[in-house]
Structure 1
Amino acid sequence: MSDELNNNSALAKGGDYAKWLRELKSKIRSTQLRAALAANRELILFYWELGGDISRKLAETNWGAKVIDQLAKDLRSEFPDMQGFSRRNLYYTKKFYEVFSAFPRDAEIVPRLGAQLKNAPQSEDERQTVPRGGAQRIPVIVHQIGGQLPWSHIKILLDKVSDYKESLFYINQTIENGWSRDVLALQIKSDLFARQGSAISNFKNTLPEPQSDLAQQTIKDPYTFDFLTMTRPYNERDIESQLVEHITKFLLELGKGFAFVGRQYHLEVGETDYYLDLLFYHIKLKCYVVIELKNTKFIAEYAGKLNFYLSAVDSLLKTDSDNPTIGILLCRDKNKIETEFALRDINKPMGVSEFTLTEILPEELKGSLPTVEEIEADFNQLEETASPNDEV
């Protein structure tokens, strides 16, 4: 370690490092003049180039990683009013370059269905752009996120996502939904990538394309209602009540486009009153969405009842400008084969997903559980009575 430090110290004062430092300072000044390093696009593209410079220098020389400490010190000294030159951030730029360089060359942000028709094709220059300084091509995806994704979001992806397909998914979702940094981190933690579009549904048989594809991507499995804290025994009405009470978090979990219409929404069919658990309208799908909650395992009869509700909404609420009403049945558990069979001959579009929530211990049970001190005391007593040859 001491040899590396001495080596770095000597190199920091030597001609090669000094020349490289001068080049970096010139590049930074150029970027300052062009955009004051304030425009997000310029900032991201600069971090890409800086990360590439650092990565290549470390690969081509024997300076060692400690030279980044020296570089951070020199750049902050030269540009005291600029942020982003901490040792930690320089490592992020290096990782940014190395991770996104490993993406396939054709990796890019893909507009969601409907938006694709609005976007004109990119020119060849836009798809194969060359950085201002020279021969290292900047991937299409880096150019795309440069104008749309803040650096703070990119750092979260670098920290928490390793697969490029998953990264592209979260990039697309963040741009489309306008997620903040905290919301992006929450969605990654809840494994939205694995949950999105994975519900069992009959959309392909009951909806035309591309609406069937968009509807499939709209629903998840499972839905995670970890913002609810429930104590058994509870029923569907208890869950409905808390979901409406936490409607902002509920809408976030449902995804962009859902507008809340009502809970226990009243419909009169013939001379009989019916009440829908939760009724929404989806802005993009342009249709009503009926959500039925079942605090039990899925059974086939649930699909038949939801099919009836969808027919009622189509007859009583839907207008000529609305698309067919969609149903989402949320249950605590389901059997895949049984669920697919139940939806096979249903003529209304619906999907079946599980949901999870946080359950807290009831007070009477809490009092019967041993405390940490009692567990430790029992363990110590066990150790004292055990013979030297006993395994505890």
Structure 2
Amino acid sequence: MSSELIRQDYLDFLGHIKGRIRQRQYQALRAVNNELVMLYWELGEAIDKKQLEQGWGKSVVENLARDLQGEFPGRNGFSARNLWNMLEFYRTYSHLQKLQPLVAEISWAKNIVIMSRCKDDLEREFYLRATARFGWTKSVLQHQIDNKSYEKYLLNQTNFDNALPEEIKAQAALAVKDHYTFDFLELSEEHSERELEQALIKNLRSFLAELGGAFSFIGNQYRLEVDGREYFIDLLLFHRRLRCLVAIELKIGEFKPEHKGKMEFYLEALDSHERLPEENAPIGIIICRSKSKTIVEYALRNASRPLGVATYTVVPQLPEGYKADLPSPEQIAERLQAWGGECLEDEEDDPAKAGRAGV
């Protein structure tokens, strides 16, 4: 056997071993996190029982915190404030059997953010599942809550249910929001499409974070050639989990039905000339300054290619009447359930995510 083949065999073996090590490290981190969250759950439950049975008040809990910190020095987790957090944590989720398995999948610090900042159980479920699935850090989670990602997901307008395979349609719906906030651009209210595009490229990291993660940048004014003629897509991205190209068209005005036809043409060309054999069909996102939901609904009704229509602002605000358009609690629960069962399946098989798993 040649030395080159021996070396390649060794490199393959080394890569396999590294993958196994990362996978075990990630599983160990998850196990430690699970035990820590369950410990805090048990402490919250115990304090709750003592309060009910013996009327424990603030002074008793503060004494308990001092004694625990004396016995376990250096453990900030046993501060009086955190003991109260444990009590609230137990009381918040003790009657929600559906959410109890989810809280153990993310770190204690992220649980506190979700518990304290989310207004209802459905919103908490959304951020619990999304944080576990996408490996959001605490700062990214806070950014997603600040930018109303929950509301934007619920209101998104796409045709994915009809245009995408069953196995990816739920993930695709989560990847496209109804509204994007580009407050990091420092653009005036009056700007051109070219200025908007250039500002997004200049602030690419913030732009990709606002999109929600898992997007990679390929190019802007991406050139396509069809029958000897040139066409240019404003932005071309790749979504790692969906494994597909994502074409984005920017419009500084209101959505028009003809925008859909142009995007479908781009998606046809990408599918024919750019898509690799192992990739899924490309999807399109038309990002406009404003839209009529009824016109969008009509435009997407017979669209053959998967696409969504969203709005944007350059200041941190939602469109007028946004919350009034939210679906009913039953519809929200149904949407969350559609993708909830897959939250960690892909992560367990991907050792590369180990480094992003917060404990």
Greater length-normalized contact order (CA 8 Å, ≥ 6 residues apart)? 2
Distance 1:208 1:80, change over 3 A: closer
Does the aligned pair in 2 maintain the 1:202–1:343 contact within 8 Å? yes
What SS is found at the alignment partner of 2:284? strand
Deviations 1:13-64 (A, max 9, x none): xxxxxxxxxxxxxxxxxxxxxx9xx933332221111111111111111343
Whether 2:258 is the aligned partner of 1:301: answer: yes
Q: Which residue of 2 aligns with 1:160?
A: 117
Q: Which of 253, 266, 272 is matched with 1:315 structurally?
A: 272
Q: Which residue of 2 aligns with 1:93?
A: 86
Q: Which of 299, 323, 329 is matched with 2:286 structurally?
A: 329
Offset at residue 248 of structure 1 (A) = 1.3
TM-score, normalised on structure 1? Answer: 0.69
Q: How does 1:110-129 map to 2 (within 5 A)?
A: none
Offset at residue 198 of structure 1 (A) = 2.8
Distance 1:340 1:149, change over 3 A: same
What SS is found at the alignment partner of 1:260? strand
Q: Which residue of 1 aligns with 2:145?
A: 188
What SS is found at the alignment partner of 1:228? coil
Does the aligned pair in 2 maintain the 1:197–1:218 contact within 8 Å? no
The whole-number CA distance in structure 2 between the counterparts of 1:309 and 1:217 is 22
Letter in 2 for 1:252: A
Q: How does 1:1-392 map to 2 (within 5 A)?
A: 39-103=32-96, 105=97, 107-108=98-99, 139=100, 141=101, 145-146=103-104, 148-196=105-153, 198-358=155-315
Offset at residue 207 of structure 1 (A) = 2.2
Does the aligned pair in 2 maintain the 1:281–1:288 contact within 8 Å? yes
**Mind listing any 5+ residue stretches in structure 2 that lack a counterpart?**
1-27, 317-359
Does the aligned pair in 2 maintain the 1:197–1:216 contact within 8 Å? no
The whole-number CA distance in structure 1 between the counterparts of 2:71 and 2:278 is 62
Does the aligned pair in 1 maintain the 2:189–2:314 contact within 8 Å? no
Letter in 1 for 2:290: D
**Mind listing any 5+ residue stretches in structure 1 that lack a counterpart?**
1-34, 109-138, 360-392
RMSD value over aligned CA atoms?
A: 2.1
What SS is found at the alignment partner of 1:66? helix
The whole-number CA distance in structure 2 between the counterparts of 1:85 and 1:102 is 24
Distance 1:307 1:39, change over 3 A: closer
Deviations 1:94-130 (A, max 9, x none): 1111111021x2x14xxxxxxxxxxxxxxxxxxxxxx
Deviations 1:198-217 (A, max 9, x none): 32122222223233333222
TM-score, normalised on structure 2? Answer: 0.75
The whole-number CA distance in structure 2 between the counterparts of 1:229 and 1:180 is 25
Distance 1:39 1:318, change over 3 A: closer
Offset at residue 241 of structure 1 (A) = 1.0
The whole-number CA distance in structure 1 between the counterparts of 2:158 and 2:74 is 55
Deviations 1:313-335 (A, max 9, x none): 12221233322221110001111
Q: Which residue of 1 aligns with 2:344?
A: none
> Segments of 4+ in structure 1 off by > 4 A?
none
Letter in 1 for 2:222: Y
The whole-number CA distance in structure 2 between the counterparts of 1:347 and 1:185 is 36
Does the aligned pair in 2 maintain the 1:228–1:243 contact within 8 Å? yes
The whole-number CA distance in structure 2 between the counterparts of 1:291 and 1:194 is 21
Identity fraction in percent: 40
Letter in 2 for 1:92: N
The whole-number CA distance in structure 2 between the counterparts of 1:311 and 1:69 is 65
What SS is found at the alignment partner of 2:185? strand
Offset at residue 197 of structure 1 (A) = 5.0
Letter in 2 for 1:163: D
- When you count helix as a share of all residues, which structure comes out higher? 2
Does the aligned pair in 1 maintain the 2:223–2:233 contact within 8 Å? yes
Q: Which residue of 2 aligns with 1:385?
A: none
What SS is found at the alignment partner of 2:78? coil
What SS is found at the alignment partner of 1:229? coil
Offset at residue 157 of structure 1 (A) = 1.6
Offset at residue 166 of structure 1 (A) = 1.6
Does the aligned pair in 2 maintain the 1:197–1:219 contact within 8 Å? no
What SS is found at the alignment partner of 2:278? coil
Larger Rg over CA atoms: 1
Deviations 1:72-103 (A, max 9, x none): 22222333343222211111111111111021
Offset at residue 173 of structure 1 (A) = 1.2
The whole-number CA distance in structure 2 between the counterparts of 1:62 and 1:216 is 48
Letter in 2 for 1:329: I
Distance 1:62 1:308, change over 3 A: closer
What SS is found at the alignment partner of 1:196? helix
What SS is found at the alignment partner of 1:60? helix
Distance 1:91 1:355, change over 3 A: same
Count the aligned residue pairs: 287
The whole-number CA distance in structure 2 between the counterparts of 1:338 and 1:282 is 27
